Homo-oligomer: A and B are copies of this chain.
Amino acid sequence: MATEAAPDDGSDAPDAYDALLERAKRWNAVGSAAGVLGWDQQVMMPEGGTPARSKQLSALSSVRHDMLTDDETADLLAELSDADLTDEESAVVREIRRDHERADAVPGELVERISEASSEALAAWEEARAEDDFEAFAPHLERQVELKREYADHVAPDRDPYEVLFEEYEPCLSIERAEEILEELRETLVPVIDAIRESDRDLAVDTFEGTFPTDDQEALARDALETVGYDFDRGRLDVSSHPFTSGNQFDCRVTTRFDESDPLAAVGSTIHEFGHAQYNLGLPREHWGTPLGESRDLSVHESQSRLWENHVGRSRAFWELFLPAFKERFPDTADATVEDAYEAVNQVYEDNLVRVEADELTYHLHIVVRFEIERDLVRGDLAIEDVPEVWNDKYEEYLGIRPESDAEGCLQDIHWSHGNFGYFPTYSLGSVMAAQLYAAAESEIDDLEGSIADGDFDPLREWLGENVHRHGSRYETNELVRRATGEDFSADAFLAYVDEKYGELYDL
């Protein structure tokens, strides 16, 4: 196949580029088919279906891997390495090359060993958590650390293994930037949370106590999605034990879950997933199956969910709009005021040990604890057996509370049983990015708060579509943020937001 020089207008790409794009569309179609099977598995599949589903998913995964790493893909990438490409084409080749190189570097048998070890570790973790028995889980955790170090060693033997693992989730955000931001969060938030604990302000946290039937909560979750503008012709709302979002620009579905005692949590979680879905639904349709039609990485995805969850769903403007719908579903709350709702969704918990139930502030300290521990584990600076004590010490130091059991402590999350080291930081990075993007949207949209209170979400949806969604993976993360906000990615906007919002809420 000959390389043809293409003029820089993008209209005449080299043949190798077109061929690579066709191949990418095919392996991405296979990957997105696997996504449908994953959704089905969590939402619809009867329990007996597991053996067949595992085989189907593993066949699709190995088909996709084979296409991504085969000689033809390698040859096309080699041919394109000195081709004359437009900016857009270069971005596409950059993204495909990165995926190809990582997939190519790691032997299939190691991927399989990790997958098997994960299945065993998952079962061991479930039991260990139920029995509060860290020692039973310790050998599995150790094995996952070893395997993931081996993995990192294949990808880049001379680099910090934690950095290499972090890049699995954030391939184009530097670990240094991530570490700086997490450190800044810890340094700033620990004293803020201390001050909140010492504050005399009592928030109206008991206005929404009671029992709220899940059928009505489901109707309310639908109300919330209608309110923010979810396109039900391209999506669905279902229930699953862990809320998630799955799909693409044509069909992107959300799930939620219900706790009879906490309808506000379901609203928040549903709006969170809406933010993820809105990102996927806003990706350019004509580029589906190519990097230009795929979302950027985990932190950017989380920025979209957190923006809607925190900056919209936890705002006074939103509750001015939505409280009447809430009261219609739950007439017992007829006396609640907008201020009551605002305070209830923004309360900072004094004694919560559980990450997934954390408020907007303490959340980041839950993440920092995990980040510091997993980084030290992977770097070999922390022994497995010391994890529980280090975990508890850090909770005491950062959050002022000490877990009384490992079940409530270092055994609470599923991630490490999957060997997902480097994943936790993306949650905090996404929240921080959400604040930066929202501040930029606020400065560019005329009376954004007013339009939210009026139920007009078009300006915000359009701003996000224009500045984030439509770019797909064209820009790397910092470049995307810089183009959207005029600034490099930083925690400044988040910390200013915390200062203003919680200063007012708690009279700090």
Contacts and interface: CB of A to CB of B under 8 A. Distances in A.
Interface of A: 25-26, 29-30, 32-34, 36-37, 40, 44-53, 55-60, 62-63, 231-236, 247-251, 253, 285, 288-289
A49 B289 contact: no
B236 A51 contact: no
Contacts of A288: 51-52, 55
B36 A56 contact: yes
B250 A25 contact: no
Nearest to A236: B46
Number of copies: 2
Residue of A46, A57, A253 most packed against chain B (CB within 10 A): A46
A451 to B, nearest CB: 26
3 tightest A-B CB contacts, nearest first: A49-B251, A48-B234, A29-B59
Given A48-B251, A55-B25, A30 B63 contact: yes
Contact of A29 (B25, B26, B45, B55): B55
A356 to B, nearest CB: 27
A56 B32 contact: yes
Given A33-B37, A233-B46, A251 B60 contact: no
A158 B420 CA distance: 60
A48 B233 CA distance: 6
B36 A40 contact: yes
Given A33-B60, A51-B285, A46 B248 contact: no
Contacts of A57: 33
A73 to B, nearest CB: 15
Nearest to A43: B44
Given A33-B37, A36-B37, 9 more contacts: A29-B55, A30-B63, A33-B59, A37-B37, A48-B231, A49-B234, A49-B247, A52-B288, A55-B288
Contacts of A60: 29-30, 33
A121 B6 CA distance: 40
A248 to B, nearest CB: 5
A29 B46 contact: no
Contacts of A56: 29-30, 32-33, 36
Nearest to A248: B52
A353 to B, nearest CB: 35
Contacts of A62: 26
B289 A53 contact: no
Contact of A44 (B25, B26, B44, B48): B44
A215 to B, nearest CB: 14
Contacts of A46: 232-236, 251, 253
A249 to B, nearest CB: 8
Contacts of A253: 46
A59 B285 CA distance: 18
Contacts of A235: 46, 48
Contacts of A251: 45-46, 48-49, 52-53
